[in-house]
Amino acid sequence: LQLQASGGGLVQPGGSLRLSCAASGFTLAHYAIGWFRQAPGKEREGVSCVNIENTVTYYYDSVKGRFTMSRDNAKNMVYLQMNNLKPEDTAVYYCATVIDCLPLIGRPRAGPDDLWGQGTLVTVSS
């Protein structure tokens, strides 16, 4: 069972990146999925979540309107399109299966049994 995040890199402020998360050994469609990030010296935070039914996607306030999360169950993939990137978006980004999404705050809720990808580094700098 594995999640593999990719697509990170160095981008200038205002630029865009698309992160991908590929699952192997299990079916992503059976899970709610979250994207998290951890900036240097900061705690990991959830930024986006899609429910298990793939009907609703949630976003934390700091990325709302700039990030778009999607899932392609046929390809067993999840994506995070990030536009208008800011230096404060610099972080290692992780995808993970999660217990559920928290609609009021737009964040995923992960538990001890959830599966995490290894992370991909996004650096926003001029």
What's the pLDDT score for residue 16?
98
Each residue's pLDDT, cut to its tens digit, for the chain (126 residues) gives: 889 999 999 999 999 999 999 999 999 999 999 999 999 999 999 999 999 998 999 999 999 999 999 999 899 999 999 999 999 999 999 999 999 999 999 999 999 999 998 999 999 999
Residue with tokens 């290894």: 118
